[in-house]
Chain A
Amino acid sequence: MGGKSLSNTTLVLLIGLAVFALVPVLKTTNYQMLLAAHVLVWGLFAVSFNMLFGVTGMLSFGQALYYGMGAYSVGLCVKYLGAAWFFPGMLLGIVLAALFAWLLGHLIIRVSGVFFTMLTLAFGQLGWQVMFKWYSFTGGDDGVQNIIPPGIFANKVVYYYLLLALVGASLWFMGRLNASPMGLILRCVRQNPERVRFLGRRVRRNQQRIYMISSLFTALAGGLMSGVDYSIHTDMFYWTTSGHVILMSILGGIGQFFGPFLGAAVIIVIEDVVGAFTEYWSLIIGLVMLGMVLGLPHGLMGGIDRLKARFAGSGARPARDGRS
């Protein structure tokens, strides 16, 4: 992961952006553009999640909390204050998520492993329950509809390009972070926290920071989603949303920066294709998941690397993510 040069990540990012930029230009239907927008939003969510899980080894089962927070800040601002508050709402969501993640992180990062996972799950579900029950304010399970971005952004193509630009910028930032000394420290924390502490680095401080950064970008993904679907609903807070993004990351490969993005794209397409002829798509997702965990724990990206290494002979070694 860290072995690859930064320019490589930037190159992949630029190619990806170019491909996604072509989507509205080509003869695509509105539906296909919507699908591409979903891939972008979930891709951002998955990469943000992976900054926690893949890089640092912190398996959070509660990122839906921040995703929902981002979406509901936009939705509720538009509902109560008007369409002009769409973007201020998005900013508010990001700030709230960052603040909340900082405070919560302060408390929950003290525990590790399964305890950390369960604590994030509990706080995530707490958030869901509050949004679900607070009917008078949030609309409960009816959610909020008709969240239309203001001005020219009401145009779907314009909004799509804004989405692309923001997702691209976020991915670039996280890519830089991943390659920075802080990224290196975090990967070291994953492998041997004791040693990192001996080296004079603050383990918890770094974990808390990355938890906040990850949550902040997750909130951005949520906020952007409200403008893609024009609606929000309490399912965004539900623990299965957190589960969904975990599946995406594992499928794509948590060992590499763009792995989760690939996973998000594949899962959204699978959902779309499978959803067309059966409502039992979560069975399919479950089976895929089972196969991945048992047979291909490095995900699709890890699989691609292994193939590349095989064809290149012994010269190139597969990217390692610290698991092998």
Chain B
Amino acid sequence: MDLSFFVVQLLSGLTMATFLFLIASGLTLIFGVGKVFNFAHGSFFMLGAYAGYQLSSVWGQSFWLSLVAGGIFAGVLGMLAEFLFLRRIYGRADEGGFQILLTYSFILIIDDLVKLVWGTEYKSLAKPAVLQGAFSFSGIVIPRYNVAVILIGLAVVVAAWWFLNRTRAGRIARASALDREMLAVLGVNVPMTMTLVFGIATALAGMTGVLAAPLRSVTPGAGIEVIIDSLIVVVLGGLGNFWGAWLAALLLGEVNSFAVVFVPKWATLFSYLVMALTLLFKPEGLFAPRKVRRV
């Protein structure tokens, strides 16, 4: 294996890791703050991708506008879903099970609505003109778009860190993960915080959908593919652990990227294998903040 090939695979793995992380970080954020498991997170990713396709490919708007609008679209729908439906089951006995069931019904509904509006055929979205083509260093060819995706991912990581650690809203979000009642006593509107966090997370998923669309085409099944991959990342990272999710996404992205080269037919198995092995030997995830309650 020569160097240029290695570098290209490494970067392609990094690109995939960025997508995974951007989706999983939202999932992790919601879980960390509200102990809510959003099984439909991949569907918001897909909604963003379709919104981006509509704006960019059908209405001819710029890619960057589509990126922002796709995020807002998914974010608003996410807030509505939380406000209208999820909020009603908080605190119910066996909440975890009901969350999965409720968000599973979102998946079914969103999937069919997308088919109704946009049909079942594959849609494509063009890269912005600036990011077409590739950089070339002494024989190593690196697509510009991939570099941009990785940089955007890094920017989001930094922004998220800044938000969670340096802003009042971020501190409230982190505090509500620890003690909701105390927060409510201190006069914080905890339910509204949760709705907002949900909106931020789904907006992030929607934006990622637009960002990923030029590389992986837009299909009605995208939500399901994406959710399983990002679930693996979240579980691997230790539920609710932001940095764990980042490392797990990196691990899975690279494992996948190299597996595709060496065992193309069985490459898709590796994510599951990594997850299965991790959970067998370290059920709380590779980078878990604390122990899972065992029964």
Contacts and interface: CB of A to CB of B under 8 A. Distances in A.
Given A107-B280, A115-B292, A283-B108, A294 B115 contact: no
Interface residues of B, number: 45
Contacts of A113: 96, 293
A240 B89 CA distance: 23
B272 A114 contact: no
A198 interface: no
B112 interface: yes
Interface stretch (B1-9, B191-199, B227-235): B227-235
Task: Identify which of B101, B228, B275 gathers the most chain A CB atoms within 10 Å of its CB.
Answer: B101
B226 to A, nearest CB: 13
Contact of A123 (B104, B105, B228, B276): B276
A285 B97 CA distance: 18
B294 A111 contact: yes
Interface stretch (B60-68, B162-170, B263-271): B263-271
Contact of A286 (B94, B105, B224, B273): B105
Interface string A215-252: 00000000000000000000000011001001100100
A126 interface: yes
Contact of A293 (B98, B108, B112, B293): B98
Given A289-B104, A290-B102, A115 B279 contact: yes
Q: Is the interface of B mostly helix, strand, loop or mixed?
A: helix
A118 B89 CA distance: 20
Interface string A247-280: 1001000000000000000000000000000001
Interface of A: 53, 57, 59, 61, 107-108, 110-115, 117-119, 121-123, 125-126, 129-130, 133, 189, 193, 203-204, 239-240, 243, 246-247, 250, 280, 282-283, 285-287, 289-290, 293-294, 297, 322-324
Given A112-B293, A247-B104, A289-B105, 6 more contacts: A119-B275, A122-B272, A129-B272, A204-B295, A283-B113, A293-B105
- When A and B form their complex, which 5 residue pairs have the shortest distance between CB atoms, in order from nearest? A286-B108, A283-B112, A289-B105, A286-B109, A126-B272
Interface of B: 37, 85, 88-89, 92-94, 96-98, 100-102, 104-109, 111-113, 115-116, 224, 228, 231-232, 235, 239, 265-266, 268-269, 272-273, 275-276, 279-280, 283, 292-295
